[in-house]
Amino acid sequence: MYDIFRCPKCHQPMSLPSCSCNYKAVYHKGVYQLTDDPYMVKDDSAEIKYIGYENIGENYSGDSLFKKITMDKKYMKVRDIIGDGILLDLACGDGLYTVPLIKSGVKVISMDISDKMLSLLYKRAETEEIDTSKLLVCRANALAVPLIDGCVDAVIANSVLHLISRPEIVIGEIYRVLKNKGKYIAFQEKPNDRYVNENGLTTEEKAENKKYYELLNYVHNRYFEILGNQYNIRVTRYSWNFDRDKICSKLFHDKKTYTISANRKIADSFQQLFLKRMSGKGFSDQSDVPQDIHQKVFHKVMDEFTDKFGQNAVNTMFTGYENNFEISVYTKLN
């Protein structure tokens, strides 16, 4: 897998870590540094903008980093689709796909722009007790993937296209690095695509869910209202409505969709499901909110919240059944 890289300096094929042009990739804390690009580009003047998760880090997945992942049917299906081939997990984050897939025997190259997220991938690998010599982890920009053309059998780039102002460039890169018959394996794109449904819930559970959403909207809206009015900080979502299918249908030969059935019941409190992540600045909407401003605004909102809804409101439960999981597989044919 080390011999399919493209030198970030001269753009010729190279075998990690060195290129014949004298470039040598720095290897630091288990990560090959294959770009000098910033963690995040948000200036209005920049041609292409993106939100790397360097400032989000630990609170993105919270406790889940220290819990073993259930190797459910979803991972098994992805493993079967990839078979013996090499997978590129692009914008791999803290390894939600990389780690269980390596555990199930897949050969994976993992790339992300954020060093922090890549360090969390190692934490997840530790939790899962996988042999870290099986990890090949790189800091790289999904807008210019440091791999040669036609070299991997599959690519996953989950939940990143909405963070990039020109997601079609990333899809172009995915297509470029795939071999003939290679597969781009995609899931539901946006993180808040509703992954749960209320079928079969009691009237009380449904009423409590309604309350849960009222609380969530209150905290979210009030937090960003204060940030906007007092600090001129506004939510940036670059490609929330990006139509992946439209771009993929122009490039890829074929699309197949697999539905993985799920019916697991989820029940957790407002505190655990939302407040914990929001208070730790774990949402991409909060990526460029300075820590001191975040602290002030979050505390103010929570004071108002308690006055309005009472102290116990944080225990309001959300309940639902997981929706079926859709896996879309786009195949490249030269």
* Interface region with ligand SAM, contact rule CB under 6 A, candidates 47-55, 206-214, 243-251, 256-264: 47-55
Shorter beta-carbon distance to ligand SAM: residue 160 or 219: 160
Among 113, 121, 148, 329, binds ligand SAM (CB under 6 A): 113
Shorter beta-carbon distance to ligand SAM: residue 222 or 236: 236
Strands (E), the chain: 5-6, 13-14, 26-28, 31-33, 40-41, 50-51, 86-90, 107-112, 137-139, 152-156, 178-186, 196-197, 254-260, 265-269, 317-322, 325-331
Q: What is the footprint of ligand SAM within residues 62-101 (CB under 6 A)?
A: 91-93, 96-97
Shorter beta-carbon distance to ligand SAM: residue 191 or 290: 191
Neighbours of 72 (CB within 10 A): 14
Contact between 108 and 75 (Cβ < 8 Å): no
By CB under 6 A, tell whether 102 contacts ligand SAM: no
Shorter beta-carbon distance to ligand SAM: residue 173 or 209: 173
Dihedral class, residue 282 (left if φ above 0, else alpha if ψ from -120 to 50, else beta): alpha
Per the document, the length of the chain is 334
The residue type at 52? G
Considering the complex, what minimum distance in angstroms separates the CB of residue 282 from ligand SAM? 10
Q: What is the footprint of ligand SAM within residues 273-332 (CB under 6 A)?
A: none
Three-state secondary structure readout of 231-276: HCCCCCCCCCCCCHHHHHHHHCCEEEEEEECCCCEEEEEHHHHHHH
By beta-carbon distance, which residue lies closest to ligand SAM? Answer: 93
- Torsion over CA of 179, 72, 159 and 189, rounded to 10 degrees? 90
Considering the complex, what minimum distance in angstroms separates the CB of residue 179 from ligand SAM? 21
Considering the complex, what minimum distance in angstroms separates the CB of residue 255 from ligand SAM? 20
Binding-residue total with ligand SAM (CB under 6 A)? 22
Smallest CA-to-CA distance from 301 within 212, 217, 234 is with 217
By CB under 6 A, tell whether 52 contacts ligand SAM: yes
Q: Take residue 306 and report the two structure tokens written for it.
A: 């308690």
Q: How far apart are CA 103 and CA 27, in angstroms?
A: 23
* Interface region with ligand SAM, contact rule CB under 6 A, candidates 48-56, 75-83, 261-269, 289-297: 48-56
Q: Take residue 147 and report the two structure tokens written for it.
A: 């791999």
Q: What is the footprint of ligand SAM within residues 119-178 (CB under 6 A)?
A: 141-143, 158-160, 163-164
Considering the complex, what minimum distance in angstroms separates the CB of residue 170 from ligand SAM? 7
Chain residues binding ligand SAM by CB under 6 A are 50-53, 91-93, 96-97, 112-114, 117, 141-143, 158-160, 163-164, 191
